[in-house]
Every structure is written in C-alpha cells, then in structure tokens.
Structure 1
Amino acid sequence: MLTPQGLKGKQFRITGTSYPRLGPPPRRGRRWLMLIGSLLALSLIALGGVQLVDIFTGKAKHGAAQACASSRASASGKPLAAPAATAASASPSGSAAASGSAAPGSPAASGAPAAVGTPLPAVTAAPQPQTVTVNVLNATDKAGLAARTADDLKQRGFTVGKVGNAPSALEGHVSGAAELVAGQSGAGAAALLGAQVSGASTLADARTDGSVDFVIGDGYTALLDPNAAATALAAALKPSPSASPLPGSC
C-alpha cells in the first residue's frame, strides 16, 4: 500500500489479513427477543392446527348439536306431572267440584287429577263468543268484581257459567290482570277470552270440555274496548313469523 508523502511508511503500513470492525458488536438481548418471538409463533401455529383438526373431525359440530338439543329440551314445555293434591288445589275447577258446581266434563267432575302446566296448542281460529262457557272467579279482595266482569262478558255474547270467588290457593296470588285456565279442546276459547283483557296469562288443565275459567287478578281494571279486543285477537291468531336461524346456530 502506498503511504502519503511525509509519513513513514513502515509505521502506518497495514499488514496481515484482519480488518477493523466497522459495526457495533451483537447484543445478547436481541437474541433472546428473537428466541421468545419464535416460541410464540410456534405456539400460535400449534393452536391453530388443533382447532383445524377439531373442525374437520366434527367435534365442534357435535358439541353444538348437543347444546342445541339441550336448549330445545328445556324450552319445549313438556307436560309436568303434578301431584293430584296440588293439581286439585291449584285448578279452579277442582274448587268448583268441591262446592258441587263443577262443569260437566271437567277433571274435577270426573275425579281425574288436573295436569296443570300442559301447554295449550296454537290456534289460528277462534269460536263464536256464544259457544264459549266462561267461569268468572275473583282472586282479589274487591267485592263484586266477578259479578261485574260476568255482566260485561254477557254483553259481548259469552255464556257465563259459575260466578264467585276463586279457590283459596289462588286468592291474592294472581298478580296479573287475569289467568285463563282451559283444557286442550278450549285453546281457541282461551285465545278469544285472552284478547278481551290486557296482560292475561293462559294455563292448562286436564278438563275435556271447552269451558274456560276467567280468574281475575290484582292487576285487572276492566275489559278492553271491542275494537282493541278485535285487534288483539287478530294478532294472537296470526303471530309474526320468527326469523330463520343462522347457519350453525340452534
């Protein structure tokens, strides 16, 4: 190598095969970060592989099917076998039989226990009011409420049967406007009566006729006006269609 003029060549001559290092020396911290990042990436890849295996083998689909089956079973509303004593005390027809005024064909008249809790079938048509026999029972502490309600129902064409107080098991325990108790053959009649009052609930027992017990609750004030009752009946007979479930959902 040539040496600039004025300098001693031997003193500044570069000899050997090594050259000075131009960059900073490597740090151990970077190596640890790279190692940790590699381990995390491998863990994520392994987790994704396990999920793909579950999807292709059908384990996730089988678990979703079991969950859907469980939810349908809990919401199916299967008949609940009530003890004879409980059904007789909870059903207004049972009290009517004790007083000797049970309607013919009702479980109280035949001695059969009422299976309270059986859901009534959905209906798309309602009978005429004059073909429906209504037992008006007062479960509140307001005197004369059953008689006044029975008169209002008569004016709308209903056939009124028993009028009086509700069984002691129901007195003060109906918080809504009314409870309508009917058998399977009285589902249409219960829908027609349910449209006459706002906030009524429907229960079922084992009676075989089409009569309905109209049990007045603490929330009752009066029947709906005829126009509002007709609108409520149309909505009850033609419920809005439910949305189709998304793929993979119950």
Structure 2
Amino acid sequence: MSMLTPPGMGGKYRITGDVYPRMRRPHRRRRIVLASAAAVVVLGAAGWGTLQLVDVFSGGDDTRKTAAGKQADCKPSPSPAPAAKLPKPAQVTVNVYNATPRSGLAKATADELKKRGFTIGKVGNAPAAYDKKVAGSGLLLGAPAAAKGAFAVLGTQLAGTTTKVDARTTADVDLIIGTAFKALSPKATADKALLVLNKPKPVPGRC
C-alpha cells in the first residue's frame, strides 16, 4: 500500500506510484507586475497634474506665443497726420457786435482781439435779427468756408460759442456777443487752445 493511501482505504481508492501532487506557489510575479503598472499610472497622473498646475499659473506657452505673435503682427504707427492748414489770427477779420443790453462790450472785446493778433473789421451793436436774441456767450457767423478754419481759430478765444453760416461770400467773420458773455478766455488759455488746434494728431497703429 502506498503511503498516500489513507488508512482503511484500498481497492479502487488505492493510490499507487511515486508521483506526488504539486503545490503551486502564490502568483507573486503577477502581483509584482500589477503593482508596477499601478505605480506607473499613479506617477503619470501626478506628473500630468503638475504640468497642468504649472500651465495655469504661468499662463501657458500658447498665451505667450499668441501675445508675441500679435505683437509681431502689429504694424508700427505711421507719422502723425499733418493738421489741416488753418488761418493765422491775423488772417481772420472779425466784426464784433454787441447783442446784450450792456454797453461798451463790442469795443472792449474788439480791442482785446486786436491785441491777440486778429484783424478787426466793423464794431457796433448787433443787427435786429440777433439783438438780445443770443443766449450763449457768443455766436460766430460767416460764410460756409469759415467752418473749415476761421470759426475754429476764433473759437479758441471764447468758450461756449455756437456757429452759423450765412450767404455772404466774403471771408470776414462776425462775433455776436450774447447775454451769457463775461469776458474772453484768458490769453494763456486761448494760446494753449490755439497751439493744440494746430498740433498734428497721431494716427493709432493697426494690429
């Protein structure tokens, strides 16, 4: 009887031979492989997350490249556009009319404008169509051509004026003093406004 035969058993249950059953060792290799794969996945995920955080806080390379690309594509601003040729004060003939009940305003205003370089024409009371009917500080009245230069130059001397064109064909301009008039703008303020008026305006660059 073989040593593998349990006591009390025999016959067809008798085990013979010298072959013993093999006991397999635990699948250590499989566990090692799985553990290694899991470690790779964890490390990969951690690395990807780190890159994402760096990209968020640094703005991303694409943003920098895009900004750089836009800067490279921007065209430089051209030279300042030349200002429209405006007449000098001496080239503007001003007729000064008083449309207020206060006397002496026309002459005093005309004298001050003459000191500032303007050419003075007629001085007196306003025509009936405008007498005591100009509510603002003053009305500039002239031919349509005056709107392209003379109005702007004379307007630097008195704030709050309005403009109107008529059918005259001469280059002179009327300054009709209104009821809100107090005085001409200070000479320093008027000179600065005239300087800005003649200064070339820069043209913005295109991107």
* TM-score normalised to structure 2 length: 0.52
Cross-structure match for 2:113: 153
1:185–1:209 CA contact under 8 A, matched in 2: no
Q: Shift of residue 227 of structure 1?
A: 2.3
Q: Shift of residue 129 of structure 1?
A: 1.2
Cross-structure match for 1:182: 142
Which sections of structure 1, spanning at least 5 residues, go unmatched?
1-122, 242-250
Highest RCO, 1 vs 2 (Cα 8 Å, sep ≥ 6):
2
Q: Secondary structure at the match of 2:179?
A: coil
Q: 1:144 aligns with which of 84, 88, 104?
A: 104
Rounded Cα–Cα distance in structure 1 between residues aligned with 2:164 and 2:95: 14
Cross-structure match for 2:158: 197
1:223/1:239 CA distance change after superposition, 3 Å: farther
Rounded Cα–Cα distance in structure 2 between residues aligned with 1:206 and 1:217: 22
1:239/1:198 CA distance change after superposition, 3 Å: farther
Q: Secondary structure at the match of 1:168?
A: coil
Cross-structure match for 1:29: none
User: After the TM superposition, which of the residue ranges 138-147 and 225-234 deviates more from structure 2?
Assistant: 225-234
Letter aligned with residue 130 of structure 1: A
Cross-structure match for 2:93: 133
Matches within 5 A, 1:90-101: none
Residue identity (%): 49
Q: Shift of residue 225 of structure 1?
A: 1.7
Cross-structure match for 1:229: 190
Rounded Cα–Cα distance in structure 2 between residues aligned with 1:215 and 1:139: 6
What is the aligned length?
119
Query: Is residue 2:192 matched to residue 1:208?
Result: no
Cross-structure match for 1:248: none
CA RMSD, 1 decimal: 2.2
Q: Shift of residue 133 of structure 1?
A: 0.8
Cross-structure match for 2:20: none
1:228/1:125 CA distance change after superposition, 3 Å: farther
Matches within 5 A, 1:1-250: 124-187=84-147, 188-234=149-195
1:235/1:157 CA distance change after superposition, 3 Å: closer
1:143/1:212 CA distance change after superposition, 3 Å: same
1:135–1:160 CA contact under 8 A, matched in 2: yes
Letter aligned with residue 144 of structure 2: Q
What CA deviation, in whole Å up to 9, does each residue of 1:180-225 have, x standing for no partner? 0011222311111111001011111122221100000011111112
Rounded Cα–Cα distance in structure 1 between residues aligned with 2:197 and 2:166: 21
Rounded Cα–Cα distance in structure 2 between residues aligned with 1:181 and 1:149: 16
What CA deviation, in whole Å up to 9, does each residue of 1:67-96 have, x standing for no partner? xxxxxxxxxxxxxxxxxxxxxxxxxxxxxx
1:219/1:240 CA distance change after superposition, 3 Å: farther
Cross-structure match for 2:77: none
Rounded Cα–Cα distance in structure 2 between residues aligned with 1:148 and 1:142: 12
1:125/1:169 CA distance change after superposition, 3 Å: same
Rounded Cα–Cα distance in structure 2 between residues aligned with 1:176 and 1:124: 28
1:239/1:128 CA distance change after superposition, 3 Å: closer
Larger radius of gyration: 2
Which sections of structure 2, spanning at least 5 residues, go unmatched?
1-82, 203-207
